[in-house]
Every structure is written in structure tokens, then in C-alpha cells.
Amino acid sequence: MASTATTKRSLDIPTARVFQPLLQPAPYKGAHGGRLSGKTHFFGGLAVEDAMRFPGEMGEGLRMVCLREVQRDLAQSSKRLIEDKLAQFKLGPADGFKVWKECIEFPGDGLAIFKGMNDYTAESVKSLEGYKRAWLDEAQAFSPLSWSMLRPTIHRWDGAEIWASWNPTRKADAIDDFFRGNSDESAAKKKAGTWKPPRGAIVVQANWCDNPFLGTNAHEERLLELENYAERYPHTYMGEYAGAFSGAYFAKLLTEAKLKKRIGSFTADPVLPLRAYADIGGAGAKSDAFVFWIVQFVDGDILVLDHYETVGQSIAYHTRWLRDNGYDDVEIVLPHDGANPNNVTGKRYADHFEDAGFKTRVIPNQGSGAAAQRIEAVRRLAPKFKFNAETTEAGRLALGFYHEKRDEKRGIGLGPEHDWSSHSADAFGAVAIDYEDPSRSANFNKPLEYPDNGYA
């Protein structure tokens, strides 16, 4: 089907059937799926088409912002793609389009700019008022804060649209949850009949099989991925949530756990103690995530029963989650910074949890190379881990994504990438560091009396 813009010139843009619903006006337009689906090419073409259609009787042009969550330079932006579309459609200055180093002029007084959303604050984002289109590419990376700041800014004016294209990573990602409502919280609301999809939103799923314009080389690359990297193919090309990425530190662990049925339905032994291994976040909107893994050592197994992750919440919120989920008697095991004062109260994290009635212990600092020690400890104990599938899904996604940061120019590794997955991975590593093989300890899994370490 062709979509046509009528102005001094008209465009005849072939459009894959899967994207045709997105040709209609809507306050929110979303396209999710895997690589080779044509999502970004569709929105790039739609940007040019809307720019040609937009100038009104007074000659006002379309103002559009193209966003990534993090954009260090224009090479990471959608600018080159829009330039390619202009070349494809043979549009230039005579048609009102002028390409500059930092931006692209649209017909009338229109303009397209290219920014990183994390560069904006609650105050500076107001500079985007009057922009009638916002296109979020790689939108799975957008934080809840960025998403909540952008929406009211763009939708202050009637007729404005926000477009999002993304390959889903996690159910809890802000964009994916907004459009699809698959996070645990939204799923609970759906079950209760209280979840409301965004008004007027149009969202489509698109994968390689929906793209009629694919060439032979693209198909060959896809088949090569399927043959050599089957574990990541469902995410990369079929738009499924991320599982175990090839090259991730714990990809082999998770793949073998699934094959050997160590991911399933497991419950706690009512006699043995439970431990909550934490990674500490902050209480601000841009703080790192706070994580708990609920773990029990049963004979020779490490039973991973539950996972909790939140951002910007108080210690009272964390302890309420423990109690609400039946973990009143859990021992909280904190990383070494649990001995550091809380930025808000000045008290140590360990003190706060002790004051709330929980037995608390701090793992000593492993010193330089601590992250590598955690990774190797987890790998060494890999056959011992058993995961309760339903309650650890989000945590396993983080473990499956946790990977090395690379300097591609020099071809060297720079240690673990600090991203959304690293907080759960660090807390999980603490489980392995703290584990004591029952064959080596007569006191294994008995109620332990810890000496006074200054946190009681």
C-alpha cells in the first residue's frame, strides 16, 4: 500500500502491511519487534512525509525531536537515516529540506533535532514544548523518569504524536510496559481489571517476516544467527524479551539450567534459614536499582526463590516487600557499602535494617577485582543453582544480559558493563561469594550466631 503526502510534491512510499495502522493520526504510535523488521525505516519515512504534509495556511512547519536515551554524538542518532530517506525520495532545498551538521530544516519553519533524553532535566525539557513529533528509537533503553518527563511536554498541544520503536528487553522497561502492560505490576492490574492502555495508542509488532523488502544478504545473516547463536535469536530477530545473550557472563549457566530443568517450581524448606542478598541503590529518581535475591542453601543446592528490584524507594519500602511476601525472618546480607552511612539519614544501611527487626550481616570488601571474583564464584557454583521460575524471571533476564564492556577500537575488555543488569548480577555474585559448601562445615545451614561486628 502506498501512503501519499499532498503538497507541492507528492510522495509514493511503499509501506509494509504491518505498519499501515500507524499511518493514521494517533497520540502514541509504537512498533516493537526484532531486527530487519523495518521499524526505523518506516518511522524515518513517516517523518519526511509528515514534514511535507504539515505546513498549514500560515506556513508553519513541523518541529520534531528524535531521541535516544543516551546519545554521545550524532552518529548514534536517527539523523543519517532521515538524510537517506530524503536522498531516496529526491527531496532537497527546493522542497524545503536543508541538511545541516546538527539538525535538518523541514518545509516552512520546520525543524528536526537529535538529542539524548538523559541530557534533559525537569526544567530544560520544557524547551521541547511546541514540538509536534517525538520519535524515540531504541526506546527500550528509556528510563521511567525520561518517559514521564517527555509525555506531558510533547502532548501539551493537540495533534502532537509520540512515536516509539524498540526491541523488547524486559517486561519492566518503561516503554514496553506503557504500551503492552506486561510488567508484574501491570499484569496484576490486568487481572484485577484496572489496567488502562494509553488512550488512542496504536501499537504493532513487526519482525523480519513482516518485511517484504528484505534482500538475500539480510536473510543469510539472519539464518547465520539462528545457526550459531540460537540462544539469542528469539530476542534479536523475533522481538522476544531478552534471555541469555551469547557472550554474557552467565549465558551458559542459564542455558544449562533450563536444559537440566533447574528452572521450575521450587519452594522453600520451612526448617532452613532464608537469606536476602542485596545490592544497595539510592532513594532518588536517578538512583541505581536496589535488589534482593531470596536464597536458601539446601543440602548441595542453592535454591533461588525470589527476586526484587526497585528504583528510588526507601528502606521502609524494601522491608515492607519482605514482610508482604512472607520473609519476616530472613537474614539480610549486604555488600560492603552496607556499612556506609545513608545519604538521607546519616545512619548505616545495616543499622536501618536492624532497627526494622531484621538480622543483618555485611560481606567484607573483596578489594580490587571484586567483580571478577563474583563472576568466577557464580560460574564455579553454576550446577548448584535452582531457580523458581515464576518469581525470578526478571532477575534471570538481568543475569542473561550481564556482559563485558568492550573497547572495540583496541579489542580489549574493560570489565563488566555498568547498566540495568549489573545490580542484580552483583547481588547474585554475593550469593556465590558467601556460599559455604555443606561438606566443609558442620554448622552449614544451622542458625548462625554472628559476633558483634558493629552493626547490631
Grid cell 518485511 — which residue?
211
Q: Is residue 224 in some structural domain? A: no
Q: What pLDDT score was predicted for residue 450?
A: 43
Looking at the fold, whether 288 and 188 belong to one and the same domain comes out as no
DSSP β-ladder status, 289-298 and 301-311: antiparallel
- pTM attached to this predicted model: 0.66
- DSSP bridge partners of 110: 106
Nearest to 258 by CA among 410, 85, 119, 385: 385
Per the structure, how many domains does the chain have?
Answer: 2
Cell of 17: 502491511
d(CA 199, CA 213): 32
Given a cut of 70, whether residue 438 has pLDDT beyond it is: no
The pLDDT-based confidence of 419 (bands split at 50, 70, 90) is confident
CATH of the domain at 51: 3.40.50.300
Looking at the fold, whether 24 and 133 belong to one and the same domain comes out as yes
Q: Is residue 349 in some structural domain? A: yes
> Which residues have C-beta within 8 Å of that of residue 40, sequence separation ≥ 6?
78, 81, 137, 165
Is the distance from CB of 167 to CB of 140 less than 8 angstroms? yes
* Three-state secondary-structure class, residue 306: strand
The pLDDT-based confidence of 3 (bands split at 50, 70, 90) is very low
Average pLDDT of the segment spanning 237-257? 82
**What is the enclosing helix (H) or strand (E) of 307?**
strand 301-311
Each residue's pLDDT tens digit, 380-411? 999 999 999 999 998 998 998 898 887 767 77
Least trusted range by pLDDT, from 53-57, 113-117, 176-180, 446-450: 446-450
Looking at the fold, whether 278 and 189 belong to one and the same domain comes out as no
Q: What is the span of the domain harbouring residue 130?
A: 2-210
Is the distance from CB of 22 to CB of 42 less than 8 angstroms? yes
CATH of the domain at 377: 3.30.420.240
Each residue's pLDDT tens digit, 311-345? 888 899 999 999 999 999 999 999 988 877 766 66
Looking at the fold, whether 189 and 251 belong to one and the same domain comes out as no
Cell of 144: 521511567
Chain-centre distance of CA 109, in angstroms?
A: 36
The pLDDT-based confidence of 40 (bands split at 50, 70, 90) is very high
Least trusted range by pLDDT, from 32-41, 51-60, 76-85, 444-453: 444-453
Q: What pLDDT score was predicted for residue 455?
A: 41
Looking at the fold, whether 7 and 100 belong to one and the same domain comes out as yes
d(CA 201, CA 204): 10
Looking at the fold, whether 274 and 156 belong to one and the same domain comes out as no
Average pLDDT of the segment spanning 268-292? 84
